[in-house]
Amino acid sequence: MRHRTVALLIETSNAYARGLLEGIRSYIRAHDQWSIYLPEQGRGAEVPKWLSRWEGDGMIARVENDEIARSLAKMTVPIVDVSAARRLERLPWVETDDQEIAALAAEHLLERGYHHLAFCGDERFNWSIWRRDAFVRLIQQEGKVCHLHMTHSGSGSSWNQEKQELSDWIQRLPRPIGIFASYDIKAQKLLEICRELAISVPEEIAVIGVDNDRLLCDLAFPPLTSVIPNTHRTGYEAASLLDRMMAGETIPPTGHLIRPIGVETRQSTDILAIHDRHVAMALRYIRLHAYQGINVRDVLKNVPLSRRVLESRFQKLLGRTPHQELIRLRIARVRQLLMETTLTLSEIAQRVGFEHVEYLSVAFKREVGISPREFRKQ
């Protein structure tokens, strides 16, 4: 049987794209041994010369500009798009769920007690616009104002010009404030400007990015907190769709959105913007020991308050009780382990501090709406 030949028009220069490629590789290993053509390609580069001469069975591409879209429109082979740009609307596309990404960023900043929130993005990209719109909506639902800044980097403006605009915007913001940057590179730029302006991070300004590019996040100063998109699953799903198309199945030109995994917390947000010292102490203790099977009585041993007073202050500042915070943290960890590992429910229960797997299942379904097994299957 002849192996199908598949071209991957995906750059290898950033962590997001490499994650896509790893997901595609996993699908190939588990299913068909495709013959892969992966030429060197930069993001948004011109149409490669080989494209007009290429003869194969299918393609997975990040269609990021009109020139490449016009070239692909002439091809008759099945193609799956892994870009949110939507330059070629007849193609099915697989992308990260930007509303879920924004929700994770909003939750991360709000749970740290920030009353001032901001978004910094790039108006060239659909995914940045979608993340902005979802983030603003979530912040407004909390009764708060979201400060916005959208740049146009790459459209003729220099870094010096963008840097000055960002610097002016940052200095006008109220403090302390939590900023959601639409991707890690933008977040890293904000951190660099804060350092030059002698603004304390995260004490005055906290910054969270997206992509969890580990090299970039660890090189940032201070190290950058980032939302973790499930790029592996995105690439895997794109390969699955292409396989079905090459087998003759008709796939409608709709989007397939993949949930993010969670948030990798680093120093750029690792502080509680809560002025009540005792609530901050309680919250810090909960976050340090949540997966060790502690309960509210253990928290009270480390905070000089009665249970009634602590719960009242906790509810006023965070909108939930200490017990609800414990459950929320544990369920978030369960979700992550269900997506990232093959651990059994019993093993997961032990790792996150649930005494009984039955209690884990009941709590998970109450918080998430479906059972752990259904969640892992999805």
Contacts of 272 (CB under 8 A, 6+ apart): 112, 113, 280, 283, 284
Is residue 87 located within the same domain as residue 103? no
State the pLDDT at residue 277.
82
In a domain, 67, yes or no: yes
The per-residue pLDDT for 319 is 80
Q: Give the H/E segment covering residue 356.
A: none
The answer to whether residues 237 and 226 belong to one domain is no
| Residue 365: inside a domain | yes
Q: Do 177 and 195 reside in the same domain of the chain?
A: yes
| Residue 16 is assigned to a structural domain of this protein | yes
CA 90 to chain centre: 27
Q: Is residue 173 part of a domain?
A: yes
Residue-level pLDDT at 156:
52
Reference 199, options 191, 187, 189, 208; nearest CA is: 191
**pLDDT for residue 39:** 82
Same domain, 122 and 221: yes
* Confidence at residue 346, expressed as pLDDT on a 0 to 100 scale: 93
Tell how many helices (H) and how many strands (E) occur in the chain: 15, 12
Write out pLDDT tens, residues 196-249. Answer: 999 989 888 999 999 999 999 999 999 999 999 999 999 999 999 999 999 999
Q: Which domain holds residue 81?
A: 5-96+231-260
Rounded CA separation 320/326 (Å) = 10
Distance CA 168, CA 298 (A): 46
Q: Residue 111 — pLDDT band, cuts 50, 70, 90?
A: confident
Q: Is it the case that residue 264 has pLDDT exceeding 80?
A: yes
The reply to whether 271 falls in a domain is no
Same domain for 121 and 221?
A: yes
How large is the average pLDDT for residues 73-100? 94
Residue 208 · residue 262 · CB < 8 Å: no
What's the pLDDT score for residue 1? 55
Q: In what order do the strands lie in the sheet with 117-122?
A: 146-151, 117-122, 177-181, 205-210, 225-228, 262-264
Which pLDDT score is estimated for 12?
85
> Contact at 8 Å (CB) between 167 and 193?
yes
Nearest to 373 by CA among 353, 352, 343, 351: 343
Tens digits of per-residue pLDDT, 116-133?
A: 999 999 999 999 999 999
| Domain final residue pick, 230, 248, 269 | 230
pLDDT of residue 154: 56
Residues 75 and 117 occupy one common structural domain: no
Q: Quote the pLDDT of residue 22.
A: 95
Look at residue 48 and tell me if it is in a domain: yes
Regarding whether 224 and 111 lie in a shared domain, the answer is yes
Per cent of the chain over pLDDT 70 is: 96
Residues 196, 248, single domain; the answer is no
Tell me what the mean pLDDT of segment 139-148 comes to.
95
Residues in the chain: 378
Number of domains in the chain: 3
Computed over every residue of the chain, the mean pLDDT equals 91
Confirm whether 266 is domain-assigned: no
Q: List C-alpha distances in Å: 375 to 227, 314, 322, 344.
A: 20, 30, 26, 13
SS3 316: helix
Work out the pLDDT band at 65, boundaries 50, 70, 90: confident
- CATH code for the domain in which residue 204 is found: 3.40.50.2300
Phi, psi of 252 (to 5 degrees): -65, 150
Do residue 249 and residue 314 come from a single domain?
A: no
Tell me 247's DSSP state.
Answer: T
Are residues 365 and 344 part of one domain?
Answer: yes
Assess contact for 262 and 104: CB atoms under 8 A: yes
Whether pTM > 0.75 for this model: the answer is: yes
* pLDDT attached to residue 274: 67
Kindly state whether residues 319 and 355 are assigned to the same domain: yes
More confident residue, 51 or 109: 109
- 267 domain residue, yes or no: no
Q: Are residues 305 and 355 in the same domain?
A: yes
| Cβ contact 93:84 at 8 Å | yes
Within 8 A by CB and 6+ apart from 222, the residues are 191, 201, 202, 266, 267, 268
Residue 303: give its domain's CATH number. Answer: 1.10.10.60
Q: Which residue has the tokens 């479906």?
A: 370
